[in-house]
Structures are given as C-alpha cells and as structure tokens.
Amino acid sequence: MVKNEKEGILLESGTNEIEVMKFTVMGEFYGINVAKVQEIIMSEKVKPMPHANPAVEGIFKPRDELITVINLAKYLTGNDTLIKEDAKKDFDFCENEYVTHYLEQPYNKRKTLLAVNEYSDLCQERLSVININTLPNTNIEFPIGHPVAYQLYIGHPYIAQKYIPFESYELELIEDKIREFCQIMQSLGAMEITIECLNSSTNDAEKHSDRNLSGDVSYRVVSGSGYSQEQGSRHLIDEISQSVNLHQKFVPKGVPKLPEILVWYPNEPSWQRLYEQRMKGTLLQHEERIETRKNRVLESDELYSIEGEFKSLFIEAKGHWDKKNEEKFAFQENAILSIQVCFASLKELQDTNITQQSNNHVLTDNENEYVEELKICMKESGGISPGERRLLEKIRIKLGISEIRAKELEEEIFPQLTEAELEYLEEYKACLKEDEGISPKERRLLDKLRASLSITEERGKELEQSL
C-alpha cells in the first residue's frame, strides 16, 4: 500500500494524491486506485460460462449480485500455467506448516477437527478442516478405525494429541474423569465406592426434558427477540446410567498416596483439597458430584455454528443431510453423578502396612536365635541389663548379625514406647514381681493409672502382652 506521510485515508479532493492497493501477478507488481475497489472477498466456487473469453473463469453469486471472475494473469499474458503452479506450491507449503504445527495451537483454535478427502471450502471459523491424507503428520491419536472422512472430532481438553468422535465425546470424557477419581480414591484407602446417576430415567421417571429459553438467540431457534422452548435429549443420561452405575468394595493396602500419572487432578482444585483433607486423617466419608455440563467443551452457541459449517461441507461432499446427522447435534441434558466413598482410617492403614512389612521379611535361623535370646532377657527381668547387653553383643557377633540389623530386630519386637507407656509398664512389672500375678485391687488401680496416662484399654492390653 503506497501512502503519503500524512495520516488518514487520502481520498480528499484537491490533494493530488491517491491511495493505491498493490498486488502481484506472475511476479510483477500492479496497483489500482482504492477508490475503484468495492470490496475484497474470499474466492468461491465458480460456475463456468460457455462461449466466454478464455480469460473469464466464470461467475458466482455471493449475495444478490452476479460477479464475473476474470483470470488476470491469462488476460495480461495469455498464459496462467505458471501462476497456478506457484499458487499450488504456496498452498502445499502453507498446508504442511499448518498440519505439522496443528497441535501447538491454543486449544480453542483446534478444538473441533473435520477430516475431508479434498478441500472445497476453507472459510470456517469454528472447524479445523484437514485433508485425511495429511493427518499422519500431526501426531494426533484417534480411536481404532479412525480417522474417517467427514467425521467430526473433538480434542481432549487436557491430552493435546487425543481426539474423540463428536457423537461420543461427552460420554468418553465423563467416563475418563470418573475412572481417574475412583483410582485416586482407591489409592487413598477407599473401602467402598458407589456411583449413581441422580437424574437417570429410573431415578427421575417423571422429569421431562423440556427447557425454557428466553432472549435474542437460542440453540435451534433463532429470532430477533421473544421466547422459545428447547427440548433436550436424554440419550447421554441414559448411556451414562448404563455404563457408570456401580457399587464396589475394596481391601485397602499400603500407605495412602496419589497415583503417579493423573490427567484431571491438576485441573480440579476440589480434588486437591479433598486429598489434603484425607491425608490429615480426619476424612472417613465423602460424596463427590460430577456434572456433564461442567465438562462440555462446546457451548450451545458454538454447537450451532459448528453444525452450520459442518452441514455445508457435508452436503457439498455427500449431496444430502439426513435426520441421523441432525440428531448428533441435539442438545444433551445435564447428567448429575453422585460418587459415595467410604475410607479406612489412616491409623488402621498404617498399622496394617507395618504388620505386612514385618511379615514379609522372613528371618534367618541365626536371626530367630538372636530374637529368642532377646525375648528371654525381657521376660525374666522386664528389660535388658548392662550385663545381658554385653552377653547379647557377643552372641550377635558369633551369629554374624550386623549392629544395624540387631537394632532393627529389637525395635520390631519391642517398639519405641512413650514416657506414659513406659511408666505404665514399670508399675505393671512391679505388681507382677510382688504377687506373681495381678489381684482385683491392683487391676482396678492399674486401670485408673492407665486412664490418667491417656492410654486406651486396647493399648494397655498390648503393652501387658508384650511382657
């Protein structure tokens, strides 16, 4: 564009200046007064005119006016072969760049993808139209048997390379999310998980699927203003009810932790808060509600635009548009899923884990002999005296047991006790020494002491049995 240094459009009379639109034809620069340019539009499919000048490509009718299309290269030179070759090279280069870097685009620009056998129209705002033969260059992952020409696909919101057939994407996303949530709950020590669709046909038989809309524009119905009624499809709700309703019980094992590879969790703050609450040991029961409307990647206005663009391309390629295609774009009612989770207590899981670790380690004959000597010393004197410790050290060396392993064995048999537990054990041992048994009066006093030391009855029995 050639312009004077002055700002503004130079169309004022008396300036002796013009604004020129510059373009190239077969490598040569040309210019035209912008005052002669009515508008610039994208080219459309042209209908040939019989017996016309060779430079006349044909006509098309974008609105209510017929426009004659002239091949300027042929008109000026009498030959358009070179410009067509250059145009094809440019198009192939642009197509390759677009396809190769397709997944690097922001999600909203690559959300919907349509595979085609050949290009006919590239003026879509919502759809990404890609030749099916170039899709292997994109690293996009499709389900088995896909991609299929003139099949619409939706990109996974958190897995860039994964694309799902349009008609099943809502069901697949919700199932994927539920699977991950249940996996997390199981890893955090869930004993029981129950999943139920709250608004399924069995739970909500009397509920109808009509929704009232008001405003300027509504899905399926477009009007200047007023009030319209939209009927939603319960197809998704019925499918979810059949696929995800379940009740399972588990035997938790190991220390609660998060699974390593998670897709939804980093994007779900409520799940992260749930994890923190669970790891504090205070949570034993939880209900999570998951709604399909919160996982939709296409809102009603987008759906309406996508249907229009898809319909235009589909009819041009296939020549028809049937009710089956229409039903794919039916608005789906919101499905509400309730997931009830019951957890084992953290203390039980930790105790079970310690027991399992102990049981999983098989002692050698020498280790068993050393353990027996430890138990004899504790049983006879209620502890290990310096003299006994010196003799045990000689036995340890003779049996070939390292100092670290000997300490581990002793800690497994006689775990570290709190000051309160040690005090209770001392009094219990004193009663045993005096009377070779515990009298009813001593038992009453010992129970009173145990309670004052905040030791549970169950823990008291464990301490007594250890002797």
- Are residues 215 and 255 in contact, defined by beta-carbon separation less than 8 angstroms? no
- Are residues 228 and 218 in contact, defined by beta-carbon separation less than 8 angstroms? yes
Q: What pLDDT does residue 229 have?
A: 36
Q: pTM of this prediction?
A: 0.56
Strand-pair category, 227-231 with 217-218: unpaired
* CA–CA dist 244, 434 (Å, integer): 66
- Tell me the torsion sign for CA atoms 395, 399, 401, 407: negative
Mean pLDDT, residues 191-199 taken together: 88
Q: What pLDDT does residue 226 have?
A: 35
* Identity of the amino acid at 264: W
Maximum alpha-carbon separation in the chain:
128
* CA–CA dist 199, 208 (Å, integer): 11
* CA–CA dist 174, 339 (Å, integer): 13
Burial degree of 424 (CB within 10 A; 0-12, 13-18, 19+) = buried
E-only strand ranges, 369-430:
none
3-state secondary structure of 332: strand
Query: Is pLDDT above 60 for 22?
Result: yes
* Identity of the amino acid at 414: F
Q: What pLDDT does residue 192 have?
A: 92
* CA–CA dist 13, 17 (Å, integer): 9
Q: What is the band of 285 on the pLDDT scale with cuts at 50, 70, 90?
A: very high
Q: What is the band of 74 on the pLDDT scale with cuts at 50, 70, 90?
A: confident
Spatial CB neighbours of 220, under 8 Å, sequence gap ≥ 6:
230, 304, 331
- Are residues 347 and 281 in contact, defined by beta-carbon separation less than 8 angstroms? yes
* CA–CA dist 303, 297 (Å, integer): 10
- Ranges 104-118, 168-182, 306-320, 382-396: which has the least confidence: 382-396
Q: What is the band of 347 on the pLDDT scale with cuts at 50, 70, 90?
A: confident
**Structure-block tokens of residue 99:** 């396809």
- Ranges 120-129, 288-297, 303-312, 420-429: which has the least confidence: 420-429
* CA–CA dist 265, 180 (Å, integer): 8
Residues 78-90: pLDDT tens digits?
666 666 677 788 8
Q: What pLDDT does residue 376 have?
A: 81
* CA–CA dist 197, 292 (Å, integer): 11
CA angle 234, 293, 289 (to 5 degrees): 95
* Identity of the amino acid at 292: T
Q: Give the total residue count for the chain.
A: 467
- Are residues 35 and 59 in contact, defined by beta-carbon separation less than 8 angstroms? no
- Are residues 45 and 120 in contact, defined by beta-carbon separation less than 8 angstroms? yes
Q: What is the band of 209 on the pLDDT scale with cuts at 50, 70, 90?
A: very low
CA angle 205, 207, 208 (to 5 degrees): 115
Q: Residue 322: which H helix or E strand, with range?
A: none
3-state secondary structure of 295: helix
Q: Which of 430, 446, 414, 450 is nearest to 381 (CA)?
A: 430
Residues 271-281: pLDDT tens digits?
999 998 888 87
Query: Is pLDDT above 70 for 221?
Result: no
Q: What pLDDT does residue 222 have?
A: 32
* CA–CA dist 358, 162 (Å, integer): 45
Query: Is pLDDT above 70 for 20?
Result: yes
Query: Is pLDDT above 90 for 180?
Result: yes
Q: What is the band of 333 on the pLDDT scale with cuts at 50, 70, 90?
A: confident
- Are residues 295 and 335 in contact, defined by beta-carbon separation less than 8 angstroms? no
- Are residues 293 and 232 in contact, defined by beta-carbon separation less than 8 angstroms? no
The segment with the largest mean pLDDT, out of 55-59, 97-101, 297-301, is 97-101
- Tell me the torsion sign for CA atoms 127, 129, 135, 139: negative
Q: What pLDDT does residue 429 have?
A: 79
Mean pLDDT, residues 328-353 taken together: 81
Q: What is the band of 137 on the pLDDT scale with cuts at 50, 70, 90?
A: confident
Mean confidence (pLDDT) of the chain: 79
Q: What pLDDT does residue 216 have?
A: 34
- Are residues 241 and 200 in contact, defined by beta-carbon separation less than 8 angstroms? yes
Query: Is pLDDT above 50 for 4?
Result: no
- What Å distances lie between residue 460 and 264, 325, 439, CA to CA? 46, 72, 16
Q: What pLDDT does residue 233 have?
A: 62
- What Å distances lie between residue 407 and 39, 416, 447, CA to CA? 90, 12, 32
* CA–CA dist 333, 319 (Å, integer): 31
**Which residues on adjacent β-strands are paired with residue 285?**
342
The string of DSSP letters for 119-159 reads: -S----SS-EEEEGGGGGGGT-B--TT---TT-EEEE-SS-
